[in-house]
A and B are shown apart, each in its own frame.
Chain A
């Protein structure tokens, strides 16, 4: 990073994002309870509040899981991705309140310890794991909440720096385990007390939506991880693209040495860097060169194209690659250089 940590690096966009999020959420919760009281008068206010919190968290989880693939399909979704961590922490808070409320409401019936006994009850009251209709669905909620807690607790950049981006990303990929747990929690829970098919139907639509989006993006990107092949030049360079394929200020992504690289054109210069931003391993090759710096499309981290270093005072750096332009084609040496190594850009039009 290169500057002192603060709780939140506020800026205008984050404030607008959070204000919109907060107001939208309050509107959803109030609307759910009011409509619920009118539509289902047999349910208590507590039950409706519990469902408002649970469905609110579930809805946010769907939004969170959709932002990544949507942003890959259309860059106009990127502003939503920029502050996704706040969305995640808010979703965890909703799920936590739902969990605590449900535990107190349904499991605080004994005269014993007010903290420990309800927790023991949640974990052990229902042991009908032999029956799908009576399965202890609460345990799936507990598993999801534990994962969401770990994700929310490690959402600060301190954890990115100290776990490293790949480990942090692997930890946060557990969101898919949490999602599966939540789906089971809701599906099995509704089996036990819900007569209307609306909730389970909506969850089914949500699952199809999330799965479908990920499959579409996977299909579109299926070729990107195919290693670049072909006959290497005498110096070991590989032909990766025609010069005409490279738009000014943008990159072509290819795979070399087991990972993606971004081949950037900056005017009549070509520079090649590893595709993963050091911050959250965002796809640098989907970003642009602005004011002479590669800008990560996810959170705006910047790198100098020729050396892969962030401008001072920032200290991020990424591996670079040697490139040549010959006969209208771009050739890249597949062996990466240590992060931050300065490499003379290949010049278009200057080839022999």
Chain B
């Protein structure tokens, strides 16, 4: 990687993480409880622990929050064959 490429990579990464940090504040205060009922009374320690993941995976969480999705049900051959999630 050249120095210029490294600079642009770090700028893009920094921007992505800064947006994630901005998103994390309202998400941890309100959004997590909207998409997962078990987070409604989640402790502050829990919120602190999911902060790094929230910063890293914020586009996924944002899309779920905007769609007011409940926690998804997993897909598996058995669940698919049983007609779940259709």
Report the interface size class on chain B: 35 or more
- Whether a CB of chain B sits under 8 angstroms from the CB of A336 is yes
- Measured in the bound complex, the distance between the Cα atoms of B39 and A2 in whole Å is 10
Interchain CB contact under 8 A, B76 and A259: yes
What is the minimal beta-carbon distance from A206 to any residue of chain B, in angstroms?
28
Interchain CB contact under 8 A, A156 and B2: no
What is the minimal beta-carbon distance from A238 to any residue of chain B, in angstroms?
14
Closest B residue by C-beta to A255: B77
Interchain CB contact under 8 A, A159 and B3: no
Interchain CB contact under 8 A, B82 and A159: no
Q: Measuring CB to CB, which residues of chain B are less than 8 angstroms from any residue of chain A? A: 1-3, 5-7, 9-10, 32, 35-36, 38-43, 45-46, 48-50, 52-53, 56-57, 61, 64, 71-79, 81-84
New A-B contacts (13) at CB < 8 Å, excluding given A153-B52, A156-B49, A161-B71: A3-B38, A6-B46, A120-B6, A123-B9, A154-B53, A156-B50, A158-B32, A162-B71, A166-B74, A258-B78, A259-B78, A336-B78, A338-B83
Q: Does more than half of chain B's interface fall in helix, strand or loop, or is it mixed?
A: helix
**By CB atoms of chain A within 10 A, which of B38, B42, B43, B56 has the most?**
B38
A and B contact pairs by CB, cutoff 8 A, 22 listed = A4-B43, A5-B42, A5-B43, A6-B42, A6-B43, A119-B10, A123-B6, A123-B10, A127-B2, A153-B56, A158-B38, A159-B50, A159-B53, A162-B36, A259-B78, A276-B78, A319-B79, A319-B82, A335-B81, A336-B78, A338-B83, A338-B84
List the A side residues contacting B10 at CB < 8 Å. Answer: 116, 119-120, 123
State whether A158 and B50 are in contact (beta carbons under 8 Å apart), knowing that A4-B43, A257-B77, A336-B79 are contacts in the complex.
yes
List the B side residues contacting A274 at CB < 8 Å. Answer: 76, 78-79
List the B side residues contacting A153 at CB < 8 Å. Answer: 52-53, 56
List the A side residues contacting B74 at CB < 8 Å. Answer: 164-167, 278
List the B side residues contacting A337 at CB < 8 Å. Answer: 82
What is the minimal beta-carbon distance from B2 to any residue of chain A, in angstroms?
6
Question: A257-271 CB contact bits vs B (8 Å, 1 = yes)?
Answer: 111010000000000
Interchain CB contact under 8 A, A158 and B46: yes
- Whether a CB of chain B sits under 8 angstroms from the CB of A124 is yes
What is the minimal beta-carbon distance from A221 to any residue of chain B, in angstroms?
17
Interchain CB contact under 8 A, B64 and A124: no
List the A side residues contacting B46 at CB < 8 Å. Answer: 5-7, 156, 158
List the B side residues contacting A166 at CB < 8 Å. Answer: 74-76
- Measured in the bound complex, the distance between the Cα atoms of B1 and A183 in whole Å is 21
- Measured in the bound complex, the distance between the Cα atoms of B52 and A339 in whole Å is 32
List the A side residues contacting B72 at CB < 8 Å. Answer: 162, 164
Interchain CB contact under 8 A, B79 and A120: no
- Measured in the bound complex, the distance between the Cα atoms of B33 and A161 in whole Å is 13
Interchain CB contact under 8 A, B43 and A7: yes
- Measured in the bound complex, the distance between the Cα atoms of B39 and A6 in whole Å is 9
Interchain CB contact under 8 A, A124 and B79: no
Q: Quick one: which of B1, B35, B76, B78 contacts A124, CB cutoff 8 A?
A: B1
List the B side residues contacting A120 at CB < 8 Å. Answer: 3, 6-7, 10
Closest B residue by C-beta to A334: B81
- Measured in the bound complex, the distance between the Cα atoms of B27 and A158 in whole Å is 13
What is the minimal beta-carbon distance from B61 to any residue of chain A, in angstroms?
8
